[in-house]
Amino acid sequence: MGCMATAESYVLAIGTKKGLWLARSTDRKEWSLSGPHFLMSEIPSIGIDTRGDKPRIMVGVRSEHWGPTVAHSDDLGATWTEPEQGAIKFPEGTDAALERIWQIYPDSASRPGVVWAGCEPISVWKSTDGGEHFELNRGLWDHPHRSEWGAGYGGAAAHSIVVNPSGENVHVAMSTGGVYRSLDGGASWEARNKGISARFMPDPNPEFGQCVHKIAADAAVEGRLYAQNHHGVYRTDDNGENWISIADGLPADFGFVMLTHPRREGTAWVIPIKADSERIPPDGRLAVHRTDDAGESWKRLDVGLPDHEYNAVLRDAAAVDSAEPTGVYFGTRGGSVYASADEGESFIEVASHLPDVLCVRAAVVSGVVSPDVAAEFAAAAAASGVPA
């Protein structure tokens, strides 16, 4: 065993329809790729937990044949562990079976070991042991609205979980159902969709039933969240009581992605798709749009992106890292993955021709990478035939 390297590096995890790829970089310009891990299983969710001594990568894995499971790696993908009894398992009496893990969300550094998961069928789960075992949130599972929640095209799932710094306020978004808020850490839940359109329903302004595609919190302003809806881009400044449109200035109000800056007030990113009925980038020109004033204005960002792109970007196929300046990453259903080291001002292509990208997550891993792990990573990249 060699001595530990202390250099800061970056890990980008790419979950696809047919496996997981991992990319590593020391400068966010040159990336080496390893994979596939979990070949022929889809990876719809990834969480990278950097709160402990070692970064833990958790993945939701789903085989069409063999079902869903959660696996984790504490050595950046060199080895994987799957709890024998399964990390997420519906308890007896629910008469439900886990279909797919849509979200793995490590909580704040002040609550080490706490990891949330959002799943299909619509459910929220919480782990206190770093994602090895989760418990079903009964407040949401037993919610009286449950029988009226529906399924989006991809399935009926809780796909977004946002927890505020104190841990008291938890927002969940589901398709379809909309936004639900808990003020007691997840014990009880109320729909909070006032102002969010559901134009696919007879009453376009229902209490719940919206198809909110993704929500994200402003890191610097308590009670401010952003939402990319099934048509509509919104912001709330009062913890979800009211949502206002911030779609002006965007080429389309449809899309799946909503990202926020890890520290700075008012900065968010979306990736517009033309319409519900036309799920391609507007005019076939892929672009990220960023606001730095909480949605008052938007800036188109497409440097380094292809001239023509007809694939959509799915809700979790985009992520930010925690570096300064913040990195922005996304992948398309055409299997291209792009990275920006300057908050979206310019992109490079990290990977291409992968299967449909379902999820990407990125993290800074500093002072924890041993030469052994680095060597294993290089070996894996070489064995996969992917140029490092």
Partner 1 sequence: MPDITVLLPSVLQPLAGGQSYLTTPADGAVTVESLLDAVTGNYPVLARRLRDETGSLRRYVNIYVNGEEVRRLKGLETEVAAGQEVLIIQSVAGG
Rounded least distance, CB 64 to partner 1, Å: 5
Is residue 80 within the footprint of partner 1 (CB under 8 A)? no
Report, in Å, the least distance between residue 350 CB and partner 1.
25
User: Can residue 4 be called a binding residue for partner 1 (CB under 8 A)?
Assistant: no
Cis peptide before 83 (omega within 30 of 0): no
Residue 65 in the binding site for partner 1 (CB under 8 A):
yes
Q: Residue from 53, 84, 203, 307 that binds partner 1 (CB under 8 A)?
A: 84
Stretch of 3-11, 89-97, 274-282, 294-302 contacting partner 1, by CB under 8 A: 89-97
Return the range that interacts with partner 1 (CB under 8 A); candidates 65-73, 110-118, 319-327, 338-346.
Answer: 65-73
- Please say which residue, 53 or 64, places its beta carbon nearer to partner 1: 64
Contact between 66 and partner 1 by CB under 8 A: the answer reads yes
98, 122, 246, 286: residue in contact with partner 1 (rule CB under 8 A): 98
358 binds partner 1 (CB under 8 A): no
Span of 81-89, 227-235, 255-263, 374-382 interacting with partner 1 by CB under 8 A: 81-89
- Is 277 a binder of partner 1 (CB under 8 A)? no
Closest to 250 measured CA to CA, from 280, 199, 212, 288: 288
Q: Is 151 in the site for partner 1 (CB under 8 A)?
A: no
Dihedral pair phi/psi, residue 373, rounded to 5°: -65, -40
Angle CA 237–240–245, to nearest 5: 65
Task: Indicate the residue among 89 and 138 with the shorter CB distance to partner 1.
Answer: 89
Question: Of 100, 116, 104, 180, nearest to 148 (Cα)?
Answer: 180
Does residue number 155 form part of the binding site for partner 1 (CB under 8 A)? no
CB nearer to partner 1: give 87 or 247. 87
Residue 85 binds partner 1 (CB under 8 A)? yes
Q: Is 64 in the site for partner 1 (CB under 8 A)?
A: yes
Asked if residue 89 binds partner 1 (CB under 8 A), the reply is yes
Contact 359, 42 (CB under 8 A): no
- Interaction of residue 147 with partner 1, rule CB under 8 A: no
320 binds partner 1 (CB under 8 A): no
Verify binding: residue 5, partner 1, rule CB under 8 A: no
| Per-residue binding letters, 107-146, with partner 1 (x by CB under 8 A) | ----------------------------------------
Which one of the spans 93-101, 216-224, 253-261, 293-301 is the region binding partner 1 (CB under 8 A)?
93-101
With binding defined as CB under 8 A, does residue 97 bind partner 1?
Answer: yes
Q: In angstroms, what CA-CA distances link 234 with 21, 27, 193, 292, 349?
A: 33, 34, 10, 15, 30
The minimum distance between CB 351 and partner 1, in angstroms, equals 21
Q: Tokens 């299983």, residue?
A: 41
> Binding to partner 1 (CB under 8 A): which residues in 38-57?
40
Number of residues that bind partner 1 (CB under 8 A): 17
- Per rule CB under 8 A, is residue 69 in the interface with partner 1? yes
Q: Does the footprint of partner 1 cover residue 203 (CB under 8 A)?
A: no
Interacting residue with partner 1 among 5, 96, 201, 388 (CB under 8 A): 96
Footprint on this chain of partner 1 (rule: CB under 8 A): 40, 63-67, 69, 82, 84-86, 89-90, 95-98
